[in-house]
Chain A
Amino acid sequence: MNADPRDVRADLAGLLPAPAERDLPSDRHRLIQEFVMTQIHPDYPSAAPASRRAPRRRLILASALSAVAAATAAVALVGVDGTGTGGGTGSAADNRPPVAAERSGQQILLAAATTAGQRPATSGSYWFRRTECTGDTQEIWTRKDGRAWVRVAGSGKVRELGSVGFSLGGVDASFAQLQKLPARPAALKRWITEAVAKTEPGSDAATRERLVLGGLLDLLAKLPAPPAVRAAAFEAVAGYSGVTNTGATEGGQGLSIRLGAEPLVRLVVDPATAQIRQTNLVVLASGARPSAMCTVTAEWTDQLPR
């Protein structure tokens, strides 16, 4: 080792960008801290003055409570919608508009498929997508060549991102690929399934299944797909056995989809335009998972702001 060791570090720092730094979210910081403290010292009282109880017990209680809450929610849904695809039969049905009560989730999606297929094809210079989740708004403009701009949170300025392209269910897709997607439900679902399997070779079946549904919902909610492909995507979603009509809501018709043991996937479809107004299924690095409800807008525009 004849070189000054400082140089190696400086060189390496120059060769590699520093990875993003993150704070441990404060609630997780507390939770993990309490967890560690109770593990190492079972009788150690919590630092939080309000709670005298052993935090370990509290954690178990918290998950038990959320399990109960989830079960209650599921029961409430079944109560409203009977078998899941049938019309409303429970007492809660009284609160809903009569027309919605008579249609199953599947019927709503099939009607949306018809509407989507009849909508004129649209185009523009930028595909604009706005997503609002619990107060957090994101705006992104993507050109057909894949270059994208975003509005920077805080300053409100729009800045270029580079070649981002489009993504469905975590799979990269160019604009041209989106235009050529299969326009038949089974073939479309197969295309996405194969693409997901290729991108996620090591993943388990449940993860891939969520990504495939995430891909179909991406096509409906976020991507510039031709009318025939959107129609096929609606039909493919209608083919899921766990689709339930949850009644009319702001922006359109509420639907839920049960996929395995996960929390329900929820969406709101506007029957008049066959647009997805809201969805809670987000595709993250860790997979596609139901989350908070997000309001989505996706349409062509010719103007890039500022």
Chain B
Amino acid sequence: MRSRVRAGDPEAFRELFDEHARSVYNHGFRLTGDWSVAEDVVSLTFLEAWRLRERVDVGAETGSLRPWLLGIATNVARNVRRAARRHSGALARLPPPEVVPDFAEEVTARLGDRERLARVRTALAALRQPEREVLALCVWSGLNYAEAAAALGVPVGTVRSRLSRARAKLHKLVTAGKLAPAGKTGEPPGGRGQIPVDRTIAVRFAQEHTR
């Protein structure tokens, strides 16, 4: 697979997309907080992957390309607009998703998600971008330290220290009562008042306004 991708085999790319679009989509959402931006992250990540395909290391033929793609997705999510510019406004040609009422995004059936999202948002807001990125890669996407380090192009020690810093900050939040631990359900963070509606939850940790 690696050598086919590196050689620019379109069929290999199609397979790569089928296999990893979901991972990239979810990772994109965790970094931007917006499902439609996450779709842009998916298209731009694969366009970038194509552009950068010759950097794929064929020495490690057996390893999955998922960490590599998540690394690219992380860079794309950092600045979606810039990535879109590189691909000459390619996104403008993609029809926008059809709006169907998504009640996960309204108030009803999936409030559990919303509460979780609210907690995640509180937590992510306390972290710096590099810390958020390693958190998303190592904790949520399940990469190991070496994979995350390679994906981000930083030394493994940097990944570790960013994670440690993230942990220290989150511990502090929990101690201060600003963040309910993951196991606790039912009450919003802080334990008082109403949970903010979805629209305010979604995406405020995105670093930029896209389109």
Contacts and interface: CB of A to CB of B under 8 A. Distances in A.
Q: Determine if chain A interacts with chain B.
A: yes
A193 to B, nearest CB: 16
B24 to A, nearest CB: 9
Contacts of B174: 15
Interface residues of A, number: 76
B101 interface: yes
Interface in A136-162: 136, 138-140, 146, 148, 150-153, 161-162
Contacts of B36: 286
A39, A59, A152, A292: residue with the most chain B Cβ atoms closer than 10 Å: A39
Given A5-B160, A14-B181, A22 B10 contact: no
B99 A289 contact: yes
A150 B108 contact: yes
Given A16-B170, A17-B116, A24-B25, A285 B100 contact: no
A9 B163 contact: yes
A12 B108 contact: no
A285 B93 CA distance: 23
A283 to B, nearest CB: 7
B93 A19 contact: no
B82 interface: no
Contacts of A282: 99, 101, 106
A163 B194 contact: yes
Interface in B8-53: 10, 13-14, 17-18, 21-22, 25-26, 29-30, 34-36, 39, 42-43, 46-47, 50
A40 B101 contact: no
Interface stretch (B55-63, B66-74, B182-190): B182-190
A206 interface: no
B171 interface: yes
Interface of A: 1, 3, 5, 8-9, 11-25, 28-29, 31-33, 35-37, 39-41, 44, 47, 56, 59-60, 62-63, 66, 131, 133-134, 136, 138-140, 146, 148, 150-153, 161-165, 167, 170-172, 174, 199-200, 202, 282-287, 289-292, 294
Interface of B: 10, 13-14, 17-18, 21-22, 25-26, 29-30, 34-36, 39, 42-43, 46-47, 50, 87, 90, 93-95, 97, 99-113, 115-117, 119-120, 123, 135, 138-140, 145, 157, 160-161, 163-164, 166-167, 170-171, 174, 179, 181-183, 186-188, 194-203, 209
21 contacts: A1-B157, A8-B163, A9-B139, A11-B171, A12-B170, A14-B182, A15-B179, A15-B182, A17-B120, A22-B26, A23-B22, A24-B25, A28-B97, A35-B90, A39-B47, A39-B87, A63-B95, A133-B101, A136-B103, A162-B188, A285-B34
Given A29-B21, A36-B17, 13 more contacts: A5-B163, A11-B171, A12-B139, A14-B183, A15-B181, A17-B182, A24-B42, A62-B95, A131-B108, A136-B103, A164-B195, A170-B199, A291-B99
The 9 closest A-B pairs by CB, nearest first: A285-B202, A17-B116, A165-B194, A161-B111, A282-B101, A40-B50, A291-B99, A285-B105, A170-B199
